[in-house]
Amino acid sequence: MLSTVLSFANMHNHGELFANILRARRDSFIVKRSWDLPETMGMEYDQYDTPQSRWVAVHDATGRVLAGARMTPTTARCGVYSYMIRDAQRGLLETIPQDLLYEDAPIDEGIWEVTRGFIGHDIPNNIRLRVRLLLADQIVTAGRELNARKMIALLPANWTRWSKRAALDISPAGRVMDMGGVDYQAVWFDLGDKLH
């Protein structure tokens, strides 16, 4: 099992891996959960998949994606959009409640957003936790390399079940909310003790 962080600067070195992340996202969000999201050529994407973002993939040697997530700086701008959590709070997204956070969404070079996180629904139970922990570890490692102090994420509300195993310092950033039949919650990842 491998993990890779992709950016527009390095994705040409990884063959189909970026397209495979978007295909796996389609399978997870559109096929499995029936969410109404943009798709083309068997891939799910949105306005936040820009050169400002990074994509974390847990995959096998053939490039099959087992899990993934997108990381976007909270300073991102693209037209009227910034980053998903902030834009939801600003009322730009119909599918995410505006009151998802307890406070104003940050705009800070030291804070990155983590969204579109998924674990493939066909991942066997005997390796599922290992896949989840590797994804979490790679997100923290990438955050550290990007000089992030904190990350804000939208996670399934069951994050408390596995966050201690992953040795993550996670705390609620907002209320639990139903998004497409799944309970989600905005959370803070504090990387303060994880920085070099």
Residue extents of the structural domains in the chain:
2-194
Written as six digits, the tokens of 25 are: 């996202």
Bridge partners (DSSP) listed for residue 39: 44
Give the Cα-Cα-Cα angle 195, 137, 108 (nearest 5 degrees): 50
Domain range 2-194, CATH class: alpha beta
Residue listed under structure tokens 């940050």 = 106
Residue with tokens 């993990």: 3
- pTM, two decimals, is 0.92
pLDDT in tens, 89-131: 999 998 899 999 999 999 999 999 999 999 998 999 999 989 9
At residue 193, the pLDDT reads 59
DSSP letters for 63-118: --EEEEEEEEETT--BTTB--HHHHHHTT--SSS-TT--SSPPP--TTEEEEEEEE
